[in-house]
Structure 1
Amino acid sequence: MRKHIIAAIQAHAAAEYPRECCGLLLAIGRAQKYFPCRNIATEPNEEFRLDPEDYAAAEDLGEVIGIVHSHPDATSRPSPHDLAMCEATALPWHILSWPEGDLRSITPTGSTPLLKRPFVHGAWDCWQVCADWYKREWGLEFEAFQRADGWWESADNASLYEQHYEAAGFVRVDRPQRGDLIVMHVGRTVHPNHAGIYIGTDPALPGEEAGAFGPGPFLLHHLYGRPSEIIVYGGPWHDRTRLILRHKDAQSKPPSE
């Protein structure tokens, strides 16, 4: 990264300390520029949220080629949230520890493992592991559904799975087959708030160690606050099920699954 950009990021981090600073790296023709943004997070000392108006203003000036933020009184090591959002934005992320002054850059890999990913709501969560399975296994892609943490706790909020499954290409079925979306009630919730992929009797995922054995049937899921995993689908998980959904482009599988 160029010296004048590093200096601009450092100045912004110092001005915002002990809050996290945040901004964008722009390409304007052949030049690059750091564009400072407002951090509108509820707890700006702990996290950042770029002001959407600032992001739009930056896009009017040039192409966004990176996202920048500081870690006050901490190292530049990326948090699970940083890693997840780097993948979600498909942009490099640049993290400055302050006042230490170490700058670290991370780039999206484009292929996050389905298993053992840490939980980050809105980026690496139960819906995202399902969406990633569909993309990897069947080539299906979905829009980026926006979801606030805790949306399931209030009857005033929309029931996201129930309201959006038809528009996403799913239909309700009575018995699951491999690749069906299982939607469940987990914990204290007003709406169905958890989902997983029914993968039948074969828990294998290409290039990953499933760690699941026996006759199954198995479910790929990502429970709140825990790493993603494959479990046996039955007992309490079966009792929690509210919807069994099949995508209109589902690949047919043997009835035994």
Structure 2
Amino acid sequence: MLKHILAALQQHAAAEYPRECCGLILAVGRKQVYFPCANVATEPTEEFRIAPEQYAEAEDKGQVIGIVHSHPDATSRPSPRDLAMCEATGLPWHILSWPEGDLRTITPTGETPLLGRPFVHGAWDCWQVCADWYQREWGLEFPSYTREDGWWEQAAGPSLYEQAYEAAGFYQVDRPERGDMIVMAVGRTAHPNHAGIYLGSDPRLPGEQADLYGPGPFLLHHLYGRPSEVIIYGGPWHDRARLILRHKEAR
């Protein structure tokens, strides 16, 4: 990180302490500049969020080449959410511990394992593990869907799986085949709120091997608060199923 950007970041972190500060590094012509942002997170001492309109304002000024935030009274070690969002944005993330002053940079690896990833809603969650399976297995790409944590608890709010599956290229079927997405209702919910990939009798994953053997059938999923995993699809999981969806480009 260039010295003038580090100095601007340190000044920002001190001004926002004990809240997390956040900002963007922009390439403006041949120069790099620090663009400080307001932290609009609900709990700004624990996390940060940059408003979309402020991100758009930064993009009008230059190319975003890095995302920056501070960890007040904590180390610069990235949290699971930091790692997940670094992958989601495809940009380097710079983390400054404050007031300690340690700076750490993490960069996207380009491919997070399907198994064992920690749960981070909106970045590493049940939808994302499904989308990543489709990308790696079939080469399908999906847009980034904005989803607020707890959307399924609001009866009057959107039912994201039910309302979006047709536009995403899925249609309903009666019996699952390998690669179908099973949409389920888990816990106290007003809408189906969980999904996984039906693997049939073959638990193998692209580039990975699930530690399960036997007749199956198997399901790849990422349950709220747990690492992503492959499970036996049956019993209570079968009973929770509400939709069986097949993509129009299923292979």
After TM superposition, the score normalised by the length of structure 1 is 0.96
**1:207-246 pair list within 5 angstroms:** 207-246=207-246
What is the rounded CA distance, in whole Å, between the counterparts of 2:61 and 2:134 in structure 1? Answer: 36
What is the rounded CA distance, in whole Å, between the counterparts of 2:55 and 2:160 in structure 1? Answer: 27
Shift of 1:43: 0.8
What is the CA deviation profile of residues 205-245 of structure 1, one whole-angstrom value per residue up to 9, with x for unaligned ones?
A: 23323111211000000000000000000010000000000
What is the rounded CA distance, in whole Å, between the counterparts of 1:229 and 1:138 in structure 2? Answer: 20
Indicate whether 1:24 and 2:24 are aligned: yes
Shift of 1:204: 1.1
- Whether contact under 8 Å (2:21, 2:70) holds in the other structure is yes
Greater CA drift, 16-25 or 55-64: 55-64
What is the rounded CA distance, in whole Å, between the counterparts of 2:57 and 2:173 in structure 1? Answer: 46
What is the rounded CA distance, in whole Å, between the counterparts of 2:12 and 2:187 in structure 1? Answer: 42
What is the CA deviation profile of residues 116-140 of structure 1, one whole-angstrom value per residue up to 9, with x for unaligned ones?
A: 0000000000000000000000001
What is the rounded CA distance, in whole Å, between the counterparts of 1:178 and 1:56 in structure 2? Answer: 40
> Match for residue 46 of structure 1?
46
C-alpha RMSD over aligned residues: 0.8
Where structure 2 has 5 or more consecutive residues not aligned to the other structure, the ranges are: none
What is the rounded CA distance, in whole Å, between the counterparts of 1:102 and 1:209 in structure 2? Answer: 38
> Match for residue 57 of structure 2?
57
Give the share of equivalent positions with the same residue, in percent. Answer: 80
**1:44 counterpart letter in structure 2:** P
- Whether contact under 8 Å (2:92, 2:107) holds in the other structure is yes
What is the rounded CA distance, in whole Å, between the counterparts of 2:74 and 2:185 in structure 1? Answer: 37
What SS does the corresponding residue of 1:71 show, helix, strand or coil? strand
Where structure 1 has 5 or more consecutive residues not aligned to the other structure, the ranges are: 252-257
What is the rounded CA distance, in whole Å, between the counterparts of 2:105 and 2:162 in structure 1? Answer: 39
Runs of 4+ in 1 over 3 A off after TM superposition: none
What is the rounded CA distance, in whole Å, between the counterparts of 2:55 and 2:206 in structure 1? Answer: 38
**1:226 counterpart letter in structure 2:** R
The number of equivalent residue pairs is 251
After TM superposition, the score normalised by the length of structure 2 is 0.98
Indicate whether 1:88 and 2:88 are aligned: yes
- Whether contact under 8 Å (2:203, 2:209) holds in the other structure is no
Greater CA drift, 47-56 or 139-148: 47-56
**2:156 counterpart letter in structure 1:** D
What SS does the corresponding residue of 1:32 show, helix, strand or coil? strand
> Match for residue 180 of structure 1?
180
What is the rounded CA distance, in whole Å, between the counterparts of 2:216 and 2:169 in structure 1? Answer: 27
> Match for residue 255 of structure 1?
none
